[in-house]
Amino acid sequence: MRIATIHGRVALIDGAGSGAVDVEMASGGRFGSEPAGVYERWTEFAAWAGSAPLPLPEALEPESLGSPSPNLRQVFAIGLNYSAHAAESGFARSDTSPPVFTKYPSCITGPYTDIELPSGGHTDWEVELVVVIGPAARHVAAADAWRYVAGLSAGQDVSERRLQMAATPPQFSLGKSYPGFGPVGPWLVTPDEFDDPNDLELGCSINGEQLQVGHTRELIFGVPDLIEQLSRVTPLLPGDLIFTGTPQGVGIGRNPPRWLAPGDVLTSYIEGIGEMRHRFVASGLGGRGANSDPEEER
Ligand code: ZN
């Protein structure tokens, strides 16, 4: 099953990724239009969506897609979760406890937007697997963790490195939370749709030049481990996101470093999920980011 947000309304997406069914209309009002509502009632929703007779899908316009979980309470992000990326960043890898930060929820946006580059910044790309939480998870063992995952999506942990490194120790959360710096999409795919949800290829390119490629089997802390570690500390709530970390190939790890420039088009993909495309624009030109049209981004 694939679930998306279209013009702020939760929808089911067909297998080809080209058609959509509005959940509120197809369920006769049993489920509302708010995406957050289906995560709150995830088990009931998944049972309905898996068995209900659905109307024919309507043509999907990619530009209408928002984040599959746009109105959410918590965003967890994991740093240095691939060995080669930890090395290119100049940090030792940790096998006991991953560095955890947040991307403030206002930076979450959809899969096809323009993103404004902060003036004077060094803005970098980080393609990541993103987990969307279904049922609330607290003290969940890794062996049970997939039951708490509504689905998997693609994400970009867009990062302004100057602000990130401006304080000691580095302030990851602030530098990664400018408007539009948390794109997620194009939809979520439920774990049962994958041959192996623990091994997916992910990557990204700028203007057609591939810069990152990795496989989630290389995660130091995989999805089950992350849910065990995080849920030991804080409840994971329906609709919460976990950005699981990026593989090697980011701009700060290059010699010389490379940063996103106005006009660059960043294309990000994950095997079995789909593709996102973002265009970066100069500050002040009014990009169609998370801050420009709250109604559309809901
Ligand atoms: Zn990251």
**Domain CATH code at residue 228:** 3.90.850.10
**What is the CA(6)–ligand 1 centre distance, in A?**
26
**What is the CA(10)–ligand 1 centre distance, in A?**
27
Q: How many CB atoms lie within 10 A of CB 297?
A: 24
**What is the CA(291)–ligand 1 centre distance, in A?**
21
**What is the CA(243)–ligand 1 centre distance, in A?**
7
**What is the CA(61)–ligand 1 centre distance, in A?**
28
The first and second tokens of residue 138, run together, are 């607290």
The enclosing H or E element of 270 equals strand 265-270
The enclosing H or E element of 225 equals helix 223-233
**What is the CA(101)–ligand 1 centre distance, in A?**
9
Same domain for 81 and 14: no
- The backbone torsions φ and ψ at residue 93, rounded to the nearest 5 degrees and listed phi first, read -80, 150
Distance CA 259, CA 250 (A): 9
Same domain for 89 and 40: no
Per-residue pLDDT of 105-159, as tens digits, reads: 999 999 999 999 999 999 999 999 999 999 999 999 999 999 999 999 999 999 9
Distance CA 198, CA 201 (A): 10
Q: CB-hemisphere CA count at 13 Å for 112?
A: 13
Same domain for 77 and 170: yes
Distance CA 82, CA 212 (A): 12
Same domain for 133 and 41: no
Same domain for 22 and 92: no
pTM greater than 0.85:
yes
**What is the CA(207)–ligand 1 centre distance, in A?**
21
**What is the CA(28)–ligand 1 centre distance, in A?**
40
Per-residue pLDDT of 91-103, as tens digits, reads: 888 888 999 999 9
The first and second tokens of residue 121, run together, are 């910044």
Same domain for 169 and 51: no
Number of separate domains in the chain: 2
- Residue span of the structural domain in which 56 resides: 2-64
